[in-house]
Amino acid sequence: MAGGGGHTIALKSDGTVWAWGRNDYGQLGNGTTVDSLGPVQVLNLSDITAISAGSTHNMALKQDGTVWVWGGNNTYQLGNGTTKTSLVPTQISNLDGIIAISAGNGYSMAIKNDKTVWVWGYNNYGQLGDGTTTNSTFPKQIPNLNSIIAISTGNQHSMAIKDDGTVWAWGYNYFGQLGDGTTTNCLTPEKVSNLNDIIAISEGYYHSIALKRDGTVWAWGSNSYGQLGNNTTTNSLSPIQVPDLNNIAAISSDQYYNSMALRNDGTIWAWGYNNYGQLGDGSTVNRLFPKLVSNHNGFVALWTGYYQSMALKSDGSAWVWGYNSYGKLGDGTTTNRSLPIQIQLN
């Protein structure tokens, strides 16, 4: 699953993609601009192996290594040389051999099978990493960035993991979200300070988190709502360990101000901003340290969107909670949920 600005998409085991919520830019991919309170099938997609949702656009990776995109395109995030919205998925030309994708706020990123990174779209703070602040209308390779095995896009900064376990970041850095000990924007990738043996990364609006191979979680950047999980609201310009959080198998950070982690025991822990119940603890109280998502276990995967949280259980059931504008939780309502609820995919 993946959450965008006001919509959500999900990939089924049969390779089809389903979407619900806001649809003013065609982000549901069903040929219309009509919102939907429940899942509808995205047209013309099959054999999909991965999905990613941006603020108003989506990406899907096919088994053959091609990339398909749809939705908003005002900053060239669909990579087709135009700013025309697409109501149904279209293939990005001259881009193949792709093994991973990530959709950000008005821009897109992909890894090729040679471990190079390709980017396109919005570049106001250098989030494309090409040394400029010029938008890119078509996919282009990030120079001097090789051996990449994972990528993450955010609001205005980007990250990547090299095969040696180091993390590299670029773009907007006012709150220290690049983790280099400064607040200076960077137009090209630079190594995150004192961070090694990383297996997963995720970005919030102005903060970043990383998962080490030993199951610990590290965070840096803005901490105005406790999204760094260290029981303070003090920003950090370099990575710090989230206390009392171990045996973690997966992480995800909301596109705004909260973070989540999945433990090996199937429980989910969340912290930071909680105005819409996105921490899943039955309240709307912000948390400065990790707190257990209430009354549930057996989770095997988790994702976050814009003020929303999503998770998958071992029995294949999908669960959602948080902000429900435009019906993006997919439960047939627009009611916010502060506890996980199960949704049905057709």
- Closest C-alpha to 213, from 223, 199, 227: 199
What average pLDDT score do residues 296-318 get?
A: 95
Q: Which two tokens stand for residue 107?
A: 């821009």
Residue written as tokens 């989770």? 299
- Closest C-alpha to 54, from 10, 99, 107: 107
Task: State how far Cα 337 lies from the chain centre.
Answer: 20
- 299, 267 in Cβ contact below 8 A? yes
- DSSP letters spanning 181-216: SS---EEEEEEPTT--SEEEEEE-SSEEEEEETTS-
pLDDT of residue 43 exceeding 80:
yes
What average pLDDT score do residues 73-96 get?
A: 97
pLDDT of residue 346 exceeding 80:
no
Per-residue pLDDT tens over the stretch 180-234: 999 999 999 999 999 999 999 999 999 999 999 999 999 999 999 999 999 999 9
Query: What pLDDT score does 345 carry?
Result: 83
pLDDT of residue 145 exceeding 80:
yes
Q: Which two tokens stand for residue 231?
A: 């029981």
Query: What pLDDT score does 296 carry?
Result: 86
Query: Phi/psi at 204 (nearest 5 deg)?
Result: -100, -165
Query: What pLDDT score does 254 carry?
Result: 87
Q: How far apart are CA 130 and CA 118, in angstroms?
A: 10
